[in-house]
Chains A and B, each alone.
Chain A
């Protein structure tokens, strides 16, 4: 039972001041084991805040991040799943499933987490699952102003993943979940 928080595109302080209070009240330290962040935080203070929630923090670089040393892509293995992380502005067309699938095959991961579109999506294709946690602050994107704050919490348990989607719609937190099972155990050793 490993809890992994996936979020990104906060754009603090340029486009948003902070996470919505209802989200902040839920995110308390001690519950989450890993945090993966797609990028565009943009400042170090946000990284420090995320670090207080959980010491195991992974970030990839978004185009507006002020910290230049985040990697472009990252892969990690949690339990039986290999996760890939990338901001997504590098993959064109932005948000296109086939192009993201190419990236997923390149990284050789089961779950690819990308952002940049500020819209929550979850796709499945033969190679695996592509998840976009959206923007945790609801910041506007290059494509649209109409953004609901959202983030994703994955509960990895053996070969099964339950993805909880948290969205702030009309001032209320709505939670949905998605079930996903992997067919075969990963043969690569964990790193």
Chain B
């Protein structure tokens, strides 16, 4: 093989997950690849190295890799797994390379002015879970925190008070608003106690504001119109990640988290009348809020709501057009992005592309829509999606480009099964993407970069 521009290294069975492997390949398994690897050596030495991101290595060197790189792979796996694997060098589940990356990140973060390029380079290999620095790194990557550490406290204070103001202005119900407006012209209500009986004094309604007002600018009218959106946000928030105690259930923690999510989405909807709220925004907000709320620094964790709001706005800014129905068929809309993915697949793996789209007629919209609009949060378990987001947020090409590469890699990794399947089985497979080794996936995605194409 080698025709249709599939590079040899990609065509090797190393890269595909086959059916037999899926049995062994559950989420916390360290072994990423196929029978060849398993048969030859003990599991903790898979022949899949991770090259340093900057270097574009040739196919030969990736296959015969030095031992240190093998350990990298193992350590990446242990990084992703929350279970303690017996294959790890250290008993606590944190391996030497993890520690080194953690140290690198901490060094970078403790500098007076953080070098963002360097940070991105390290972060795209994955941010160790144990260090509790993901929150800070994501804030830097999204541009919420400026690179200059000295400005952090003032920036944070500014942003948080801004959010507080938004909440006060936008989340008040009309009764409270009218009361606030009246406070300026207050005459003590208690004076009426002195007249213990008699006619109650009538007063003018300020600016025609009354609950049944039908005026466009009436706060009451706007309130009732917004209540529909508020109800939808409420429903979606209650359905976010029902399997996680953090988000769902009757505990006080879950309720306060749900309230925070709701407030953020309502403020966003009110500030953006053009796009309002679209189902799915809650899924993009959830990982951000989770990471920020679990920041070991208490002060940061307490202000997670305000921080998540701004980071959510920043993250969504690159993907807003996917949520706008009118833009569906335009150059920037979701359909165009899905077409780009399709083209991308065609460039890198024409045989698979042909089989998927033409032979089995699996329209990419059936599976890629959710992958792209929800930034892969629904395709993998929560921990894995956080790892993928590390790469999405840190890559220099930008989240959208990286996302397309990762989606393409997802398709290529299951190509054996796809090529063997028909419409039904392919669609089933892609809509319930099998659990896989995330580092492997990201490695393949990395190889699909334009400059690294072989």
Contacts and interface: CB of A to CB of B under 8 A. Distances in A.
Interface of A: 1, 3, 25-28, 30-31, 97, 121-126, 129, 153, 155, 157, 160, 162, 164-166, 175-181
A179 B203 contact: yes
Nearest to B200: A122
Given A153-B211, A178-B203, A125 B175 contact: no
Nearest to A164: B210
Given A31-B211, A153-B211, A180 B175 contact: no
Q: Identify the interface centre among A25, A153, A160, A179: most chain B CB within 10 Å of its CB.
A: A179
B185 interface: no
Given A1-B173, A1-B175, A124 B210 contact: no
A122 B196 CA distance: 13
B204 interface: yes
A31 B210 CA distance: 12
A133 B81 CA distance: 69
B189 interface: yes
Contacts of A164: 205, 210-212
B227 to A, nearest CB: 8
A179 B173 CA distance: 17
A155 B178 CA distance: 11
A189 to B, nearest CB: 24
Given A1-B174, A177-B205, A181-B189, A153 B199 contact: no
Contact of B204 (A1, A28, A125, A176): A176
> Can you list the 5 inter-chain pairs with the closest CB atoms, starting with the nearest?
A125-B197, A26-B212, A122-B200, A176-B202, A1-B175
B175 A162 contact: yes
Contacts of A25: 214
Interface string B76-114: 000000000000000000000000000000000000000
B212 A166 contact: yes
B198 interface: yes
Interface residues of B, number: 26
Contacts of A162: 175, 178
A124 B204 contact: no
Contacts of B173: 1
Contacts of B214: 25-26
7 contacts: A27-B212, A124-B198, A162-B178, A176-B205, A177-B203, A177-B204, A180-B200
B272 interface: no
B199 A121 contact: yes
A129 B200 contact: yes
A21 to B, nearest CB: 13
Interface of B: 173-176, 178-179, 189, 192, 195-205, 208, 210-214, 224
B222 to A, nearest CB: 12
A72 B374 CA distance: 59
B404 to A, nearest CB: 44
Contacts of B196: 124-126
Nearest to A174: B205
Contacts of B200: 122-124, 129, 178, 180
B205 A175 contact: yes
Contacts of B212: 26-28, 31, 153, 164, 166
Nearest to B220: A31
Contacts of B205: 164, 175-177
Nearest to A31: B224
Contacts of A155: 175, 211
A165 B224 contact: no
A49 B219 CA distance: 27
A179 B213 CA distance: 19
Contacts of A30: 224
Contacts of A166: 210, 212
B241 to A, nearest CB: 31
B199 to A, nearest CB: 6
Contact of B201 (A31, A160, A178, A181): A178
A176 B203 contact: yes
Q: Identify the interface centre among A3, A27, A123, A155: most chain B CB within 10 Å of its CB.
A: A155
Given A1-B173, A28-B212, 9 more contacts: A1-B174, A25-B214, A30-B224, A123-B200, A124-B197, A129-B200, A155-B211, A176-B205, A177-B204
A28 B211 CA distance: 11
B197 A126 contact: yes
Nearest to A180: B200
Contact of A124 (B178, B192, B211): B192
Nearest to A124: B200
Contacts of B175: 1, 155, 157, 162
A124 B81 CA distance: 70
B201 to A, nearest CB: 7
Nearest to B178: A162
A69 to B, nearest CB: 30
B19 to A, nearest CB: 54
Contact of B202 (A3, A124, A177, A181): A177
Contact of A175 (B174, B178, B201, B208): B208
A122 B210 CA distance: 18
B198 A123 contact: yes
A113 to B, nearest CB: 14
Contacts of A176: 202-205
A121 B205 CA distance: 17
A153 to B, nearest CB: 6
Nearest to B202: A176
A106 B175 CA distance: 32
A160 B212 CA distance: 19
A112 B192 CA distance: 19
Nearest to A163: B200
A164 B210 CA distance: 7
Contacts of A3: 211
